[in-house]
Amino acid sequence: MKNIAVILSGCGNRDGSELQETLGLLLAIDRQGWHYQCFAPEGFFEVVPHVDIVDDEEEAGAVVDIEQRDIFVESARIARGNILPLADYRAADYDALAMPGGMGAARNLSTFAFDGPQMTVIDSVTDALLDTNRAKKPILAMCIAPTVLAKTFGKLGISLTLGSDDNPAAQVAKGFGCNVVACGPTDICVDEEHRIITTPAYMVATHISQIFDGAANMVNRLAEWL
């Protein structure tokens, strides 16, 4: 049985892992008959509201307390408690590494949401990606998560997709040295040389069915390598 590591970044599309993308990815892995193990870094992040209601006081300029939560604890909600600290990840124990999207990839795993081209990636994520690449094992990423790959591997000239090839995230990835490929919602971008597969998911998708199809296409392509 193949064993796939999945890095989560919290719980919720605006400040953590996108739930529909994560479930689509886990389902696709399971349908291959493979096992998955979720990981997440430890550390706190600022919670972003997921209900589109403008508070009257906030609109008037009042100071609003910012709630903080732990990335690891929140990610455990998606994994039904079966989660390990990312610092414990070892590429030798897994056949591939995968990252669903959601703004947690841009806020918690990296600083892309705040710093754009000056972004950094947190140490445990960088270590996991480099360890996997050195072991010549595949890496998968969805939605905005390829920006983390762009920062880590851009100097290698990797190919990836962020949906459009001219949106702000794509421009940043190009600046890191990546070949950015325009893809539709269920399409995948395959970098054979560097063993990287990406799909745009909610960077361009408008339906949950597209999310699940894109995840399945990505994992099905991974199966050809494994």
pLDDT in tens, 112-161: 999 999 999 999 999 999 999 999 999 999 999 999 999 999 999 999 99
Alpha-carbon distances, residue 173 vs 14, 73, 128 (angstroms): 21, 30, 20
Domains and CATH numbers, the chain: 3-59+66-225 (3.40.50.880)
Given the residues 11, 38, 143, 183, select the one marked as catalytic: 143
Contact assessment for residue 134 and residue 126, using Cβ atoms and an 8 Å cutoff? no
Closest CA to 226 of 130, 94, 101, 91: 94
Residue recorded with tokens 């010549």 = 136
Query: Could you list the pLDDT tens digit for every one of the 226 residues in the chain?
Result: 999 999 999 888 888 999 999 999 999 999 999 999 999 998 766 766 667 655 555 544 444 557 778 889 999 999 999 999 999 999 999 999 999 999 999 999 999 999 999 999 999 999 999 999 999 999 999 999 999 999 999 999 999 999 999 999 999 999 999 999 999 999 999 999 999 999 999 999 999 999 999 999 999 999 999 9
The pLDDT of residue 63 is 47
CA 122 – CA 111 distance, rounded (Å): 8
Return the number of other C-beta atoms located less than 10 Å from residue 60's C-beta: 7
The pLDDT of residue 13 is 80
183 is catalytic: no
The pLDDT of residue 69 is 80
For the chain, what is the mean pLDDT? 92
Q: Flag whether the pTM goes above 0.85.
A: yes
Contact assessment for residue 113 and residue 140, using Cβ atoms and an 8 Å cutoff? no
Burial (CB count <10 Å: 0-12, 13-18, 19+), residue 121: buried
